[in-house]
Protein backbone atom coordinates (compact mmCIF):
# COMPACT_ATOMS: atom_id res chain seq x y z
CA UNK A 1 0.00 0.00 0.00
CA UNK A 2 1.34 3.42 -0.93
CA UNK A 3 2.62 5.25 2.15
CA UNK A 4 0.88 8.44 0.99
CA UNK A 5 -2.47 6.67 1.24
CA UNK A 6 -1.64 5.45 4.75
CA UNK A 7 -0.77 9.01 5.77
CA UNK A 8 -3.98 10.32 4.20
CA UNK A 9 -6.01 7.93 6.35
CA UNK A 10 -4.44 9.27 9.52
CA UNK A 11 -5.05 12.82 8.34
CA UNK A 12 -8.73 12.06 7.90
CA UNK A 13 -8.84 10.64 11.42
CA UNK A 14 -7.09 13.73 12.80
CA UNK A 15 -9.71 15.93 11.16
CA UNK A 16 -12.44 14.01 12.97
CA UNK A 17 -10.74 14.26 16.36
CA UNK A 18 -12.01 17.08 18.58
CA UNK A 19 -9.66 19.41 20.40
CA UNK A 20 -8.09 18.03 23.60
CA UNK A 21 -8.26 14.45 22.35
CA UNK A 22 -5.93 11.46 22.20
CA UNK A 23 -6.28 8.41 19.93
CA UNK A 24 -4.55 5.20 21.01
CA UNK A 25 -4.32 2.06 18.86
CA UNK A 26 -2.49 -1.15 19.74
CA UNK A 27 -1.04 -3.52 17.13
CA UNK A 28 -1.60 -6.47 19.49
CA UNK A 29 0.75 -9.05 20.90
CA UNK A 30 1.56 -12.71 20.37
CA UNK A 31 -0.58 -15.02 22.48
CA UNK A 32 0.69 -18.14 24.21
CA UNK A 33 -0.81 -21.34 22.86
CA UNK A 34 0.73 -23.79 25.31
CA UNK A 35 3.79 -23.62 27.54
CA UNK A 36 6.21 -21.47 25.50
CA UNK A 37 4.62 -21.92 22.06
CA UNK A 38 2.78 -18.97 20.51
CA UNK A 39 -0.18 -18.65 18.19
CA UNK A 40 0.70 -17.03 14.85
CA UNK A 41 0.45 -13.27 15.25
CA UNK A 42 -2.23 -11.31 13.41
CA UNK A 43 -2.22 -7.50 13.67
CA UNK A 44 -5.17 -5.44 14.81
CA UNK A 45 -6.72 -4.39 11.52
CA UNK A 46 -7.46 -0.81 12.55
CA UNK A 47 -3.84 -0.33 13.64
CA UNK A 48 -2.68 -1.84 10.35
CA UNK A 49 -5.09 0.36 8.39
CA UNK A 50 -3.59 3.53 9.86
CA UNK A 51 0.08 2.46 9.83
CA UNK A 52 0.65 -0.25 7.21
CA UNK A 53 2.68 -2.12 9.86
CA UNK A 54 1.91 -5.73 10.83
CA UNK A 55 4.37 -6.17 13.72
CA UNK A 56 3.36 -6.99 17.32
CA UNK A 57 3.89 -4.88 20.43
CA UNK A 58 3.48 -1.42 18.92
CA UNK A 59 1.37 1.56 20.03
CA UNK A 60 0.16 4.46 17.91
CA UNK A 61 -0.73 7.69 19.73
CA UNK A 62 -2.22 10.74 18.02
CA UNK A 63 -2.77 13.83 20.19
CA UNK A 64 -4.71 16.92 19.12
CA UNK A 65 -4.63 20.28 20.88
CA UNK A 66 -5.46 23.74 19.52
CA UNK A 67 -6.26 22.13 16.14
CA UNK A 68 -2.69 20.81 15.85
CA UNK A 69 -2.15 17.04 15.85
CA UNK A 70 1.02 15.10 16.67
CA UNK A 71 1.55 11.41 16.04
CA UNK A 72 3.99 9.07 17.74
CA UNK A 73 4.69 5.40 17.16
CA UNK A 74 6.10 3.53 20.16
CA UNK A 75 8.50 0.72 19.27
CA UNK A 76 10.19 -2.11 21.12
CA UNK A 77 13.77 -1.40 22.15
CA UNK A 78 16.32 -3.51 20.26
CA UNK A 79 17.44 -6.55 22.24
CA UNK A 80 20.49 -8.39 20.93
CA UNK A 81 19.77 -11.56 22.93
CA UNK A 82 16.12 -11.77 21.89
CA UNK A 83 17.09 -11.08 18.28
CA UNK A 84 19.16 -14.29 18.24
CA UNK A 85 16.01 -16.24 19.05
CA UNK A 86 13.16 -14.47 17.29
CA UNK A 87 14.79 -11.89 15.02
CA UNK A 88 15.29 -8.16 15.25
CA UNK A 89 12.37 -5.86 16.07
CA UNK A 90 11.23 -3.25 13.56
CA UNK A 91 13.45 -0.18 13.43
CA UNK A 92 12.35 3.46 13.30
CA UNK A 93 13.59 3.70 9.72
CA UNK A 94 11.63 0.62 8.64
CA UNK A 95 8.51 1.84 10.41
CA UNK A 96 8.77 5.27 8.80
CA UNK A 97 9.10 3.73 5.33
CA UNK A 98 5.87 1.79 5.87
CA UNK A 99 3.81 4.37 7.75
CA UNK A 100 5.23 7.81 7.05
CA UNK A 101 5.25 8.54 10.79
CA UNK A 102 8.25 10.70 11.63
CA UNK A 103 8.19 10.70 15.44
CA UNK A 104 9.17 7.57 17.36
CA UNK A 105 9.78 6.59 20.94
CA UNK A 106 10.09 3.32 22.85
CA UNK A 107 7.37 1.33 24.59
CA UNK A 108 8.85 1.93 28.03
CA UNK A 109 8.25 5.64 27.44
CA UNK A 110 4.72 5.54 26.16
CA UNK A 111 2.73 5.73 29.40
CA UNK A 112 4.67 8.82 30.44
CA UNK A 113 3.98 10.33 27.04
CA UNK A 114 0.29 9.54 27.38
CA UNK A 115 0.20 11.11 30.82
CA UNK A 116 1.85 14.25 29.47
CA UNK A 117 -0.86 14.47 26.78
CA UNK A 118 -3.58 14.18 29.41
CA UNK A 119 -1.94 16.92 31.49
CA UNK A 120 -1.67 19.14 28.40
CA UNK A 121 -5.46 18.89 28.17
CA UNK A 122 -5.75 20.02 31.80
CA UNK A 123 -6.95 16.52 32.67
CA UNK A 124 -10.02 16.93 30.45
CA UNK A 125 -8.73 14.75 27.62
CA UNK A 126 -11.05 12.76 25.39
CA UNK A 127 -9.37 9.37 24.95
CA UNK A 128 -10.36 7.40 21.85
CA UNK A 129 -9.74 3.65 21.67
CA UNK A 130 -10.73 0.72 19.45
CA UNK A 131 -13.36 -0.73 21.80
CA UNK A 132 -15.10 -3.15 19.43
CA UNK A 133 -16.40 -6.29 21.13
CA UNK A 134 -18.12 -9.14 19.29
CA UNK A 135 -19.42 -11.27 22.14
CA UNK A 136 -19.93 -10.93 25.89
CA UNK A 137 -17.42 -13.66 26.75
CA UNK A 138 -14.64 -12.62 24.36
CA UNK A 139 -11.35 -12.01 26.12
CA UNK A 140 -10.67 -8.45 27.15
CA UNK A 141 -8.69 -6.61 24.47
CA UNK A 142 -5.63 -4.45 25.09
CA UNK A 143 -7.77 -1.39 24.35
CA UNK A 144 -10.42 -2.43 26.87
CA UNK A 145 -7.76 -3.09 29.51
CA UNK A 146 -6.26 0.32 28.86
CA UNK A 147 -9.69 1.98 29.02
CA UNK A 148 -10.14 0.57 32.53
CA UNK A 149 -6.72 1.87 33.57
CA UNK A 150 -7.42 5.34 32.16
CA UNK A 151 -10.75 5.59 33.97
CA UNK A 152 -9.20 4.48 37.26
CA UNK A 153 -6.22 6.86 37.10
CA UNK A 154 -7.60 9.91 35.28
CA UNK A 155 -11.08 10.50 36.66
CA UNK A 156 -11.60 13.67 34.64
CA UNK A 157 -10.65 12.09 31.31
CA UNK A 158 -13.40 10.62 29.14
CA UNK A 159 -13.04 7.39 27.17
CA UNK A 160 -14.70 7.09 23.74
CA UNK A 161 -14.89 4.45 21.02
CA UNK A 162 -12.94 5.34 17.86
CA UNK A 163 -14.78 2.58 16.00
CA UNK A 164 -17.32 4.81 14.21
CA UNK A 165 -14.53 6.92 12.66
CA UNK A 166 -12.63 3.86 11.48
CA UNK A 167 -15.78 2.16 10.24
CA UNK A 168 -16.72 5.19 8.15
CA UNK A 169 -13.29 5.22 6.50
CA UNK A 170 -12.88 1.48 5.99
CA UNK A 171 -16.33 0.88 4.48
CA UNK A 172 -15.37 2.73 1.28
CA UNK A 173 -12.33 1.24 -0.43
CA UNK A 174 -9.76 3.22 -2.37
CA UNK A 175 -8.64 2.04 -5.84
CA UNK A 176 -5.48 0.65 -4.21
CA UNK A 177 -7.54 -1.38 -1.74
CA UNK A 178 -9.72 -2.73 -4.54
CA UNK A 179 -6.56 -3.83 -6.35
CA UNK A 180 -5.43 -5.76 -3.26
CA UNK A 181 -8.80 -7.54 -3.14
CA UNK A 182 -8.48 -8.35 -6.84
CA UNK A 183 -5.05 -9.87 -6.21
CA UNK A 184 -6.53 -12.02 -3.45
CA UNK A 185 -9.30 -13.14 -5.82
CA UNK A 186 -6.77 -14.09 -8.50
CA UNK A 187 -5.02 -16.39 -6.04
CA UNK A 188 -8.38 -17.82 -4.95
CA UNK A 189 -9.16 -18.54 -8.61
CA UNK A 190 -5.84 -20.37 -8.92
CA UNK A 191 -6.60 -22.42 -5.80
CA UNK A 192 -10.05 -23.45 -7.03
CA UNK A 193 -8.72 -24.51 -10.42
CA UNK A 194 -6.03 -26.61 -8.75
CA UNK A 195 -8.69 -28.19 -6.55
CA UNK A 196 -10.83 -28.98 -9.59
CA UNK A 197 -7.84 -30.67 -11.25
CA UNK A 198 -7.62 -33.05 -8.30
CA UNK A 199 -11.34 -33.64 -7.70
CA UNK A 200 -12.67 -37.18 -8.14
CA UNK A 201 -15.01 -39.54 -6.25
CA UNK A 202 -13.54 -40.85 -3.03
CA UNK A 203 -11.29 -37.87 -2.38
CA UNK A 204 -11.01 -36.72 1.22
CA UNK A 205 -12.08 -33.21 2.08
CA UNK A 206 -8.68 -32.50 3.61
CA UNK A 207 -6.95 -33.58 0.39
CA UNK A 208 -8.73 -30.80 -1.48
CA UNK A 209 -7.90 -28.40 1.34
CA UNK A 210 -4.24 -29.36 0.98
CA UNK A 211 -4.23 -28.06 -2.60
CA UNK A 212 -5.65 -24.79 -1.32
CA UNK A 213 -2.86 -24.63 1.27
CA UNK A 214 -0.24 -25.29 -1.41
CA UNK A 215 -1.40 -22.36 -3.51
CA UNK A 216 -1.51 -20.08 -0.46
CA UNK A 217 2.02 -20.97 0.64
CA UNK A 218 3.35 -20.72 -2.92
CA UNK A 219 2.23 -17.08 -2.91
CA UNK A 220 3.75 -16.40 0.50
CA UNK A 221 0.39 -16.25 2.28
CA UNK A 222 0.94 -17.23 5.91
CA UNK A 223 -2.49 -16.28 7.21
CA UNK A 224 -5.77 -17.08 5.47
CA UNK A 225 -8.69 -14.69 6.09
CA UNK A 226 -10.73 -17.53 7.58
CA UNK A 227 -10.76 -21.31 8.00
CA UNK A 228 -11.74 -22.80 4.62
CA UNK A 229 -14.92 -24.82 4.29
CA UNK A 230 -14.48 -28.00 2.24
CA UNK A 231 -17.78 -29.84 2.61
CA UNK A 232 -19.04 -32.85 0.74
CA UNK A 233 -22.67 -34.02 0.69
CA UNK A 234 -24.63 -33.33 3.86
CA UNK A 235 -21.69 -31.51 5.44
CA UNK A 236 -22.42 -28.61 3.07
CA UNK A 237 -25.69 -27.93 4.90
CA UNK A 238 -23.68 -26.78 7.94
CA UNK A 239 -22.89 -23.13 7.21
CA UNK A 240 -19.54 -22.95 9.00
CA UNK A 241 -18.48 -26.57 8.68
CA UNK A 242 -14.71 -26.76 9.15
CA UNK A 243 -13.81 -30.34 10.09
CA UNK A 244 -12.86 -31.06 6.47
CA UNK A 245 -12.12 -34.72 7.29
CA UNK A 246 -14.74 -36.81 5.46
CA UNK A 247 -14.64 -38.80 2.23
CA UNK A 248 -16.62 -37.31 -0.67
CA UNK A 249 -18.58 -40.08 -2.33
CA UNK A 250 -19.50 -40.48 -5.99
CA UNK A 251 -22.62 -38.46 -6.79
CA UNK A 252 -22.15 -35.92 -4.01
CA UNK A 253 -21.71 -32.18 -4.37
CA UNK A 254 -18.74 -30.36 -2.87
CA UNK A 255 -19.12 -26.87 -1.39
CA UNK A 256 -15.86 -24.97 -1.02
CA UNK A 257 -15.87 -21.58 0.71
CA UNK A 258 -12.39 -20.11 0.68
CA UNK A 259 -10.56 -16.84 0.65
CA UNK A 260 -6.99 -15.84 -0.03
CA UNK A 261 -5.43 -12.55 1.00
CA UNK A 262 -3.10 -9.87 -0.32
CA UNK A 263 -1.53 -7.60 2.29
CA UNK A 264 -4.32 -8.71 4.65
CA UNK A 265 -7.09 -7.74 2.20
CA UNK A 266 -9.43 -10.70 1.87
CA UNK A 267 -11.34 -12.42 -0.87
CA UNK A 268 -14.38 -14.56 -0.04
CA UNK A 269 -15.55 -16.98 -2.73
CA UNK A 270 -17.81 -20.03 -2.68
CA UNK A 271 -18.28 -22.59 -5.42
CA UNK A 272 -20.33 -25.78 -5.35
CA UNK A 273 -19.69 -28.59 -7.85
CA UNK A 274 -20.18 -32.34 -8.38
CA UNK A 275 -17.24 -34.46 -7.25
CA UNK A 276 -17.63 -36.70 -10.31
CA UNK A 277 -17.99 -33.80 -12.74
CA UNK A 278 -21.67 -34.32 -13.56
CA UNK A 279 -24.68 -32.75 -11.85
CA UNK A 280 -27.73 -34.94 -11.41
CA UNK A 281 -30.96 -33.42 -12.67
CA UNK A 282 -32.05 -32.73 -9.11
CA UNK A 283 -28.74 -31.10 -8.19
CA UNK A 284 -28.92 -29.03 -11.36
CA UNK A 285 -32.44 -27.83 -10.49
CA UNK A 286 -31.38 -26.56 -7.09
CA UNK A 287 -28.04 -25.21 -8.31
CA UNK A 288 -29.57 -23.15 -11.09
CA UNK A 289 -32.12 -21.70 -8.69
CA UNK A 290 -29.31 -20.51 -6.40
CA UNK A 291 -27.43 -19.17 -9.42
CA UNK A 292 -30.53 -17.27 -10.54
CA UNK A 293 -30.86 -15.75 -7.07
CA UNK A 294 -27.22 -14.68 -7.12
CA UNK A 295 -27.50 -13.19 -10.61
CA UNK A 296 -30.63 -11.18 -9.84
CA UNK A 297 -29.25 -10.00 -6.51
CA UNK A 298 -26.00 -8.81 -8.04
CA UNK A 299 -27.93 -7.00 -10.77
CA UNK A 300 -29.65 -4.98 -8.03
CA UNK A 301 -26.36 -3.75 -6.51
CA UNK A 302 -25.98 0.01 -6.87
CA UNK A 303 -25.48 3.09 -4.70
CA UNK A 304 -28.40 3.71 -2.35
CA UNK A 305 -29.42 0.06 -1.92
CA UNK A 306 -29.06 -1.63 1.47
CA UNK A 307 -27.89 -5.16 2.26
CA UNK A 308 -31.37 -5.93 3.62
CA UNK A 309 -32.94 -4.93 0.31
CA UNK A 310 -30.52 -7.25 -1.48
CA UNK A 311 -31.46 -10.07 0.88
CA UNK A 312 -35.14 -9.48 0.17
CA UNK A 313 -34.47 -9.97 -3.55
CA UNK A 314 -32.63 -13.21 -2.82
CA UNK A 315 -35.45 -14.49 -0.66
CA UNK A 316 -38.05 -13.60 -3.30
CA UNK A 317 -36.23 -15.56 -6.02
CA UNK A 318 -35.54 -18.56 -3.80
CA UNK A 319 -39.09 -18.69 -2.42
CA UNK A 320 -40.66 -18.51 -5.86
CA UNK A 321 -38.33 -21.21 -7.15
CA UNK A 322 -38.94 -23.56 -4.25
CA UNK A 323 -42.69 -23.17 -4.70
CA UNK A 324 -42.33 -24.19 -8.34
CA UNK A 325 -40.35 -27.24 -7.23
CA UNK A 326 -43.05 -28.09 -4.69
CA UNK A 327 -40.69 -27.88 -1.73
CA UNK A 328 -42.58 -25.09 0.03
CA UNK A 329 -46.11 -23.76 -0.12
CA UNK A 330 -45.62 -20.41 1.63
CA UNK A 331 -42.84 -17.82 1.83
CA UNK A 332 -42.52 -18.36 5.56
CA UNK A 333 -41.21 -21.88 4.89
CA UNK A 334 -38.14 -20.55 3.10
CA UNK A 335 -36.22 -20.38 6.39
CA UNK A 336 -36.07 -24.17 6.38
CA UNK A 337 -33.72 -24.06 3.39
CA UNK A 338 -32.17 -20.56 3.49
CA UNK A 339 -31.12 -19.19 6.87
CA UNK A 340 -28.43 -16.55 6.46
CA UNK A 341 -28.01 -13.09 4.95
CA UNK A 342 -26.93 -12.73 1.35
CA UNK A 343 -24.20 -10.11 1.74
CA UNK A 344 -21.59 -8.57 3.98
CA UNK A 345 -18.83 -6.00 3.57
CA UNK A 346 -15.38 -7.25 2.56
CA UNK A 347 -11.94 -5.76 3.15
CA UNK A 348 -9.22 -6.19 5.77
CA UNK A 349 -11.65 -8.51 7.54
CA UNK A 350 -13.72 -11.16 5.78
CA UNK A 351 -16.80 -9.77 7.52
CA UNK A 352 -15.49 -6.24 7.30
CA UNK A 353 -16.62 -3.50 9.63
CA UNK A 354 -19.62 -1.64 8.28
CA UNK A 355 -23.20 -0.64 8.96
CA UNK A 356 -25.50 -3.32 7.61
CA UNK A 357 -28.39 -0.85 7.50
CA UNK A 358 -26.38 1.82 5.65
CA UNK A 359 -27.01 2.51 1.97
CA UNK A 360 -24.29 1.28 -0.36
CA UNK A 361 -21.82 3.83 -1.73
CA UNK A 362 -19.38 3.71 -4.64
CA UNK A 363 -16.16 2.05 -3.51
CA UNK A 364 -17.77 -0.39 -1.11
CA UNK A 365 -16.99 -4.07 -1.68
CA UNK A 366 -19.52 -6.68 -0.65
CA UNK A 367 -20.12 -10.39 -1.09
CA UNK A 368 -23.26 -11.83 -2.66
CA UNK A 369 -23.83 -15.41 -1.49
CA UNK A 370 -27.28 -17.01 -1.72
CA UNK A 371 -27.64 -20.66 -0.79
CA UNK A 372 -30.04 -23.54 -0.30
CA UNK A 373 -29.45 -26.29 2.26
CA UNK A 374 -31.46 -29.52 2.14
CA UNK A 375 -30.20 -31.85 4.81
CA UNK A 376 -32.75 -34.53 3.95
CA UNK A 377 -31.34 -34.71 0.40
CA UNK A 378 -27.68 -34.21 1.43
CA UNK A 379 -27.58 -31.14 -0.80
CA UNK A 380 -25.95 -27.90 0.28
CA UNK A 381 -25.37 -25.27 -2.41
CA UNK A 382 -23.93 -21.78 -2.05
CA UNK A 383 -22.50 -19.54 -4.77
CA UNK A 384 -20.55 -16.48 -3.68
CA UNK A 385 -18.81 -13.66 -5.51
CA UNK A 386 -17.14 -10.41 -4.49
CA UNK A 387 -18.76 -7.27 -5.90
CA UNK A 388 -17.59 -3.65 -6.10
CA UNK A 389 -20.22 -0.92 -5.89
CA UNK A 390 -19.57 1.57 -8.71
CA UNK A 391 -20.98 5.01 -9.49
CA UNK A 392 -23.64 3.51 -11.75
CA UNK A 393 -24.03 -0.03 -10.47
CA UNK A 394 -21.58 -2.84 -9.84
CA UNK A 395 -18.51 -4.74 -10.98
CA UNK A 396 -18.12 -8.44 -10.23
CA UNK A 397 -14.50 -8.65 -9.11
CA UNK A 398 -14.51 -12.47 -9.25
CA UNK A 399 -16.20 -12.85 -12.63
CA UNK A 400 -13.30 -14.94 -13.98
CA UNK A 401 -14.10 -17.86 -11.65
CA UNK A 402 -16.44 -20.32 -13.43
CA UNK A 403 -19.87 -21.05 -11.94
CA UNK A 404 -22.16 -22.06 -14.80
CA UNK A 405 -23.18 -25.72 -14.81
CA UNK A 406 -21.72 -26.42 -18.27
CA UNK A 407 -18.41 -24.77 -17.40
CA UNK A 408 -18.00 -26.69 -14.15
CA UNK A 409 -18.84 -29.99 -15.81
CA UNK A 410 -16.27 -29.33 -18.55
CA UNK A 411 -13.56 -28.43 -16.05
CA UNK A 412 -14.16 -31.27 -13.61
CA UNK A 413 -15.80 -33.91 -15.76
CA UNK A 414 -13.19 -34.29 -18.50
CA UNK A 415 -10.94 -36.62 -16.52
CA UNK A 416 -13.86 -38.79 -15.38
CA UNK A 417 -14.85 -39.57 -18.96
CA UNK A 418 -11.51 -40.63 -20.41
What is the tens place of the pLDDT at every residue in 66-121?
889 999 999 999 999 999 999 999 999 999 999 999 999 999 999 999 999 999 99
Residue 413 has pLDDT above 90, yes or no: no
Q: Report the 10 Å Cβ neighbour count for 250.
A: 11
Active site (catalytic) residues: 36, 240, 257, 268, 340, 344, 351, 369, 373, 382, 384
What is the average pLDDT across 306-333?
Answer: 97
Give the list of residues 6+ apart from residue 195 with CB closer than 8 angstroms, or none: 208, 211, 212, 256
Q: Taking Cα atoms as reference points, which of 35, 53, 34 lies closest to residue 43?
A: 53
Q: Give percent of the chain with pLDDT exceeding 70.
A: 99
Q: What is the mean pLDDT of the chain?
A: 96
SS3 assignment, position 91: coil
CA distances from 167 to 149, 161, 225, 348, 355 (A): 25, 11, 19, 12, 8
Taking the CA atoms of residue 203, residue 205, residue 210 and residue 211 in that order, the dihedral angle to the nearest 10 degrees is: 60
Give, as one character, the DSSP assignment of residue 62: E
pLDDT at 161: 97
DSSP string, 402-413: --SHHHHHHHHH
Residue 233 Ramachandran class (φ > 0 left, ψ -120 to 50 alpha, else beta): left
Of 121-125, 203-207, 323-327, 383-387, least confident by mean pLDDT is 121-125
Q: Taking Cα atoms as reference points, which of 82, 90, 87 lies closest to residue 107?
A: 90
**Torsion over CA: 389, 394, 399, 405 (sign):** positive
Q: What pTM was estimated for this model as a whole?
A: 0.96
CA 318 to chain centre: 26
Residue 375 has pLDDT above 90, yes or no: yes
Question: What residues does 22 pair with on adjacent strands?
Answer: 63, 127
Q: Which domains does the chain have, with CATH numbers?
A: 3-169 (3.40.350.10), 172-416 (3.90.230.10)
Range list of H helices, 59-162: 80-86, 92-99, 110-120, 142-153
Amino acid sequence: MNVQEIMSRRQQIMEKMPDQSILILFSGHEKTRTHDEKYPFSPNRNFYYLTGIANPNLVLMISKKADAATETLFLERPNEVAAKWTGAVITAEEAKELSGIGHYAFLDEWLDAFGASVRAADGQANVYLDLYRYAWDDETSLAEQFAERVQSKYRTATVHDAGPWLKELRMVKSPAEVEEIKKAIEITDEALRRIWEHTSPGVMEYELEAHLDFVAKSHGIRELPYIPIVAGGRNATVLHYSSNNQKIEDGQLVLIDLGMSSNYYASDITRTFPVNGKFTERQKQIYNLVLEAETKTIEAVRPGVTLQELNNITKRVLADGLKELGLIQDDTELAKYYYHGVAHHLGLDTHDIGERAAALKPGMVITVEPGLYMEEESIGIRIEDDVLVTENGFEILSSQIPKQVDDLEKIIGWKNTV
